[in-house]
Chain A
């Protein structure tokens, strides 16, 4: 059978997920061999290279937003899941409490400490290796060394402030170290860590103002923390992102003219900047069958920027827009938003996720070769 070439209209239809008043339809992707008679859809790297595109919207240290265009949901979702759960980062894992007379119990304090995002030389963090915990199969585990463990300490005691005003009510002025903040954590490099984590690149909390505990005079916290590399699937504290999400690009099509007061109401159904109001031009009014005949100079609604839409479907609820508008989402346009906790730059995290997926494949391929042997 000669290869059938679908029409452009058909291709456009396939590219959209339809959003209806109460339902969502045309959901699954159909670009597989055998789905459409006479069409190939075979995996083709060159075709993918030509059609795949990345567009950046913003790129800051802690937050980046970009679009992946021309990729299937299963792939985009894999990247999102990997960023959240499988890109490694360093966090406090072991807390050795020498003394804790504060009102916060040891285990609660340890949990709070674990969740503090840390930063430091990226080269140093990349150089670090996994710390193997002791398991039933391997009761030894690995020994803490400079290449797998970072040592932090917190040694703080609350005392009375002799210079405080006797009428003072604020405990922070009345006492010294009444509040323990993340900035009170100290870093103690060992071995080769001194080469990597120096000066600004020392391991430290991303945000120095995180409140860890409150103390009163005579109370003391003295503990040692060991940070190791881990992944988010093990514990959320190892997740290098605060959020990593994507949404599909919204698509709005005005099928029949929306004019005058209706146009204003229509624009109000959407967030600001999505729908624009423009006068009907002479050419449009002159064109037969456009629906604009005899409406020259009236305002009409046009789609200005569907990117900003939240797809609230408000416009579908109104009688007057029935059949005039079609909402959808572009199936293969993923608008990613990645917010880093601070250990890595947000754009680097995405690249890491791609690397992790590739390594996963490579490892399974080796596993498959072993199976065949």
Chain B
């Protein structure tokens, strides 16, 4: 169940409105949950430029998006992902790079570009929605 790992974590997206004065108990909870980070393991047989990473609690959602982002890097020779068994929530990501970089760097760069992409999507989506809402309001009033 992909949720099990996920739902145990600290709030991921709806935590913007954190209470102004968190109580002591809450703070303690927060500290616990920060320690409980996502675990990546490097599978045996890795070299500097070629490695398989195992992501626990991930699936096609991040797997395919991350594969795309990493493949967009010209220093990467190969990138692919697999879910070895459907009843284990594990995702393996294979990265092979050219000599100019290493696998970990390529993975980090992929994550970075995915995050940049998310920012652009949010900006453009918000702008477009606001423009649309404004034009709809105009239509209503006129």
Contacts and interface: CB of A to CB of B under 8 A. Distances in A.
Interface residues of B, number: 68
* A82, A128, A358, A368 pick with most chain B CB within 10 angstroms: A358
* B17, B60, B112 pick with most chain A CB within 10 angstroms: B17
Given A75-B68, A127-B19, 8 more contacts: A78-B62, A86-B61, A130-B11, A234-B3, A358-B114, A358-B118, A359-B13, A362-B111
Interface stretch (A7-15, A54-62, A259-267): A54-62
A280 to B, nearest CB: 36
29 contacts: A32-B72, A34-B74, A43-B72, A45-B113, A49-B120, A54-B125, A77-B61, A81-B60, A85-B2, A86-B61, A126-B16, A126-B17, A127-B18, A129-B15, A130-B7, A130-B9, A230-B3, A230-B7, A233-B2, A351-B125, A352-B13, A354-B122, A354-B125, A357-B65, A357-B114, A366-B37, A367-B38, A371-B40, A372-B104
A368 B40 contact: yes
Interface residues on A, range: 35 or more
Contacts of B19: 127, 147, 192
B99 interface: no
B75 to A, nearest CB: 9
A121 to B, nearest CB: 10
Contacts of B7: 130, 230-231, 234
A88 B13 contact: yes
Given A42-B72, A74-B67, A231 B29 contact: no
A306 interface: no
Given A43-B72, A233-B1, A368-B104, A355 B122 contact: yes
Contacts, number: 194
Contact of B133 (A33, A59, A82): A59
A43 B58 CA distance: 24
A54 B2 CA distance: 30
A356 B6 CA distance: 11
Interface of B: 1-4, 6-19, 25-26, 29, 37-42, 55, 58, 60-62, 64-69, 71-74, 76, 104, 107-108, 111-122, 124-129, 131-133, 136
A34 B76 CA distance: 10
B42 A371 contact: yes
Interface of B is mostly: helix
Contacts of B18: 127
Interface in A118-135: 123, 125-130, 132, 135
B68 A142 contact: no
Contact of A75 (B65, B111, B115): B65
A43 B118 contact: no
A364 interface: yes
Nearest to A70: B124
Contacts of A75: 65, 68, 117
A354 B118 contact: yes
